């Protein structure tokens, strides 16, 4: 149960956002400000939220790609070190890194029993979502479940369109993931179970404009973050929902200046005192 409230911190974030513009928007600075202002327990939840980007960066490094997402907790140099000695990663993610390192290290054994027939990327993200499922934050648990489903639905639709199996692109072994892997129904047999299913399928199928497609999917993310934090005002769940929106704004300031400005305006509005009053 999270009972610690951060009234001053939220007020400070609103002031920071109002002074920002898309060119000067600094997501990393906002993240650090929140990390400095919350308890150690809540800071672990914040870092776990950004563990997703550490997964991205670990996958990129292992594949020899230069890409590195600055929203991750770890620098490029730290990511390289973690591939050798994953002592700063959450336990389940560290287990995957060690086990896959054993494949290329003739002197190492896969003592953790990870199924190394799965791709490293699939196994790592499965471990990440499993880590979130055990978080003390209700928002983070629910958000991770939503985020995995959204990404899996998108991946399954793309796999179907391109005539590929969804087995390697769908992450996790939960019931929804299994349904996405094996169902041949237009809605994967999930209509009624996943409220945003049709919106995601429509966005992936209908848009030839990739930017517009991403905008629609991010709108689903934004709305879900608001829905999951409807009755959270100044606690860690509210801050995590805010950070989800920060991530979306940061992405769009890089992709599209106009969309970035619109997303930033929505972010500022979400912290407006009037909105908080209206939610009660």
Q: Kindly report, residue by residue over 63-114, the tens digit of the pLDDT.
A: 999 999 999 999 999 999 999 999 999 999 999 999 998 765 544 455 555 5
Quick one: DSSP state of residue 165?
-
Q: Are 70 and 28 in contact (CB under 8 A)?
A: yes
Mean pLDDT throughout 19-36?
81
- Name, in order, each residue with C-beta under 8 angstroms of 171's C-beta and a sequence gap of 6 or more: 122, 125, 126, 129, 148, 151, 152, 155, 177
**What do you get for the CA distance between the two ends of the chain, in Å?**
20
Q: Are 267 and 17 in contact (CB under 8 A)?
A: yes
- What are the backbone dihedrals phi and psi of residue 186, each rounded to the nearest 5 degrees, phi first? -60, -35
pTM: 0.86
Q: What is the pLDDT of residue 19?
A: 47
Q: Which of 121, 149, 155, 117 is nearest to 133 (CA)?
A: 149
In this predicted structure, the answer to whether residue 53 has a pLDDT above a threshold of 70 is: yes
Mean pLDDT throughout 143-162?
95
Q: Are 94 and 87 in contact (CB under 8 A)?
A: yes
Residue reference for tokens 């471990």: 127
- SS3 percent helix, strand, coil of the chain, rounded to 5, is 65, 0, 35
Q: What is the pLDDT of residue 13?
A: 83
- The answer to whether the Cα torsion of 146, 207, 252, 270 is positive or negative is negative
* Least confident segment among 123-127, 155-159, 273-277: 273-277
Largest Cα span, the chain: 61
Q: Are 218 and 196 in contact (CB under 8 A)?
A: no
- Report the C-alpha gap between 84 and 87 in whole angstroms: 9
- The answer to whether the Cα torsion of 73, 78, 81, 83 is positive or negative is positive
Q: Are 225 and 245 in contact (CB under 8 A)?
A: yes
In this predicted structure, the answer to whether residue 266 has a pLDDT above a threshold of 60 is: yes
Both tokens of 198, joined, read: 């049709």
Band of pLDDT at residue 251, cut at 50, 70 and 90 = confident
CA Rg value for the chain: 19
Percent of the chain past pLDDT 90, that is, above it, reads: 64
> Which range in 1-10, 104-113, 265-274 is most confidently predicted, on average pLDDT?
1-10
Q: What is the pLDDT of residue 277?
A: 34
CA dihedral 114, 118, 120, 122 (to 10 degrees): -110
Q: What is the pLDDT of residue 275?
A: 42
* Least confident segment among 184-193, 204-213, 216-225: 204-213
* Least confident segment among 17-21, 83-87, 137-141, 201-205: 17-21
The per-residue pLDDT of the chain, averaged, comes to 86
């Amino acid at each position: 149960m999270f009972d610690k409230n951060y009234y001053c911190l939220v007020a400070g974030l609103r002031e920071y956002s109002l002074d920002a513009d898309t060119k000067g928007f600094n997501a990393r600075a906002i993240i650090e400000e929140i990390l400095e202002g919350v308890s150690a327990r809540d800071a672990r939840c914040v870092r776990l939220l950004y563990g997703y980007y550490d997964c991205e960066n670990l996958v990129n490094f292992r594949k020899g790609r230069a890409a590195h997402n600055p929203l991750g907790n770890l620098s490029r140099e730290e990511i390289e070190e973690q591939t050798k000695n994953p002592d700063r990663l959450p336990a389940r993610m560290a287990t995957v890194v060690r086990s896959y390192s054993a494949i290329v290290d003739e002197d190492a054994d896969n003592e953790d029993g990870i199924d190394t027939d799965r791709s490293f990327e699939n196994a790592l993200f499965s471990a990440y979502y499993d880590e979130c499922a055990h978080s003390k934050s209700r928002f983070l648990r629910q958000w991770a479940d939503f985020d995995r489903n959204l990404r899996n639905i998108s991946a399954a639709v793309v796999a179907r369109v391109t005539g590929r199996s969804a087995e390697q692109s769908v992450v996790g072994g939960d019931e929804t993931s299994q349904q996405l892997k094996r169902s041949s129904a237009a809605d994967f047999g999930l209509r009624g179970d996943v409220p945003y299913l049709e919106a995601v399928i429509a966005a992936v199928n209908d848009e030839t404009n990739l930017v517009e497609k991403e905008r629609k999917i991010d709108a689903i993310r934004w709305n879900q973050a608001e829905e999951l934090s409807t009755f959270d005002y100044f606690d860690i769940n509210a801050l995590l929902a805010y950070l989800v929106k920060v991530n979306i704004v940061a992405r769009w300031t890089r992709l599209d200046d106009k969309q970035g400005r619109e997303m930033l305006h929505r972010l500022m509005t979400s912290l407006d005192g009037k909105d908080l009053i209206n939610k009660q």
